[in-house]
Structure 1
Amino acid sequence: MHLAPQTILVVMMVVFSSTLVMAAGLVLALRRSEAGRLWASGHVIASGAGLVVAASAGADSLPLIALGAGAYVIGRLAIYRGVRVYYGLPEYAATLRGIGLLVLALLLLMTGLSNGRQLISAVAYSVLAVASLSTIVTMLRGVRGRTSIGGPLVLASHLVLLASQVVTLTYVATPKGIPGVPVFVQASGSVWPLAPLIAVLLGLFGFSLMAMEQIIARNESGARLDALTGLLNRGALDMTAVGMVARWQRDGEALSCLVIDVDHFKLVNDTHGHHAGDNVLREIATALDNSRRASDIAARYGGEEFCILCPHTDEHQATALANRILRKVRAIELPGNGGYASVSIGVAQLRGAPTSREGLWRNLFADADRALYTAKQRGRDQYVLGSSMLPVVAEDAASEAPAQADLDCATPA
């Protein structure tokens, strides 16, 4: 497909003007996403650079073309940084900035050479090809790129860009380059000159989708997680519990609940302040999270009260988890030489009743909560089984776990 150089210039100016306006708006829209800010900023720089090149090419101004090409490279490297941030990889900000500035300086120095135009094209396209290939490799290795809606669009756009850059590098290496045509697009019988421009638009759209998906996922996560401890919050716990009750109704497998309350927590807050109390809650939440199995659901129910749901687990099996929690919490030092933390735990198993799923969940929690208060009345730092309402002082897991298989409760030592 052959297009006149002037037609290519007009199309470039239209495309880069459009992407500049869209990217400028996205800088604000995606400000909550670090990766999104880098993508949008990179497209702003690259689109502005594309306009400079397209506008200066008609006047055959090699310095402006070199400046625009260098700025375009810097923009694409910023986009690549955003990809690395999105996948949780080191962004190498200083290194990529240094590469961009070095390329810009090199391109400007080449303007004084007799074959400067060809060298500028070769260097610019080489760096852009490496950036495109690096982006593709990073996305293929990234887990999220396989499930994101925008990821395949970005991947497709970079595949098109890489192909056009490699073909153009081969084309520039021959004496067939068309004078006056920008570095980014060379028309030939073997290359569709509009493909890279369409790929740029496709990539910008894909990047926007990826950033918005990331923001939405974080918002959903924030709505489900407790901000202080990182465990599920009460609303998310209620929703999860109703789902587990539904599975219990369908499959009939055991479902147990542990309600956990921090002992003497008000004293910590009153003596050392709420900041110290928050630190204790965070440490206890970590102990709970490290004690549970992968299938167990841990949540902060409110204040200093926590809850863990244990699917496929009866009341006696849940005591092993209660023992682990008690042991781990006892290792947490309280502020101001206040000794060590402790918790009281109520353990209950879901029992059948002719009521709704929500009602069954409320009954299960109430049974565990009553057992919890019995544990507190009996001296704290222990767990109580809801079925027996007899206190059990937790011993080391190695010595007590075998006995728990046969006993509903144990007498304090």
Structure 2
Amino acid sequence: MKGIIRLPLAAAAIAIAFASASADNPTPPDNAVRGIERILTALRSAQCYNDTVRFTVGMPQLSDDVVYEVALRQIPAPDDKLLPCSYVIDWQLTGRDEPSRGFSAYFSGNHYRYSSRRLQEYHYEADSMAFRPREIGGLKGDGVQRTAQFASLLPTLLADEIENLAKDPSCTMTLNADTIIGGISRTALRAVRHLEGQERTASEAEMIFDCSTLLPVRLHYENSPGTVSEQTVDADYLTATVGDPAGCPALTEEQLIATYPDVFANYRRSNFRVESLPGNPMPEFALPTLTGERYSRLATDRFASPTLIVVLDPEGGFTGQFIDAVRQGVAQLPFAADIIWAFTGNHADTIESLTGPARLGETTLISARGLARDCGAATLPAALICRKDGRVADIIVGFNNNLAADVIQKTTVAGQ
């Protein structure tokens, strides 16, 4: 049986094409829609989910398959508007003398990625843009919490993939609600996507689920089949367990640090809380100036004199007053001090209207949203008062009526 139907699927009207399977009779279209709905519900509601996945990539030009061992942990978070689950993904590339390892984690607007001796952190309070969907050059992309390596293996994100395939008019889907695979009763979902306006297959996906739990057992993908760039991907789920959510505590940064103490001790660039910066080296950064040059400094670099690094939102409130008060305080110091204005925006006219003509001892930088994130400056404006040795001596967050006096007092101490 073959046809196009329009029925509700996950509260959306979706066009789905169901075609006959080669070996088994497919589930009729009406039942197939309900069957897919049950799969989506099961994947999104898996409580305290843990599994180990053998992830294999094969390509014609490779003599050996690339094999990863991936440990998944997912906890539902229905109230989280960025992603309705928290997760930890621990992976290892096997088959090498020195296996490559890494992890990714997300919870409550915080995302962490570690690989190749590099730890990346994203925090919604410091920089919300990284978590938002984007479109570049006509290509749409998801936020960082959805694009971590192996995140698509998580039940919640696998549900999103299935739903997107069902919405794709170039995709034909077949559901076999009860079929025998390897001597075991399974539920099989097959999706074939064609190149737009062509009969040629762009990709094929076969997803096998446990008949009782509807959790994934095996995923098989063929990308660009029959071409030079053909790639096959297999994900075998080996040890799925679910538990009582009451016994599955929410993920926290403290848990993550306890799990990966060496990573955080050796590769963390910032603790992402500006209040904890005093006594630590100023995070390194490289930012453009208004005239297009590049200003760079390493965490080990010294300053020529005590320096105030002032992070500002050009569209924020009190930005102009903050600049005036900082200048007033620096002008009354008993020694020379430099100021680096670091604006999160990049609109030159707006920034120049705030700073006025360039002044001796001042540097103006733009596109400093990443610097704000690395410093943990969730609230702007913020001034980081640094000693000549490059360490942060003190901070000032937000405007107040005594700001000039605070600048004098804190910078004087930093200069001693």
TM-score interval for Structure 1 and Structure 2 normalised by the shorter chain: under 0.3
Q: What TM-score results when the alignment is normalised by the length of structure 2?
A: 0.24
Q: Which has the higher strand share?
A: 2
Larger Rg: 1
Q: What TM-score results when the alignment is normalised by the length of structure 1?
A: 0.24
Q: Name the structure, 1 or 2, with higher relative contact order (CA <8 Å, separation 6+).
A: 2
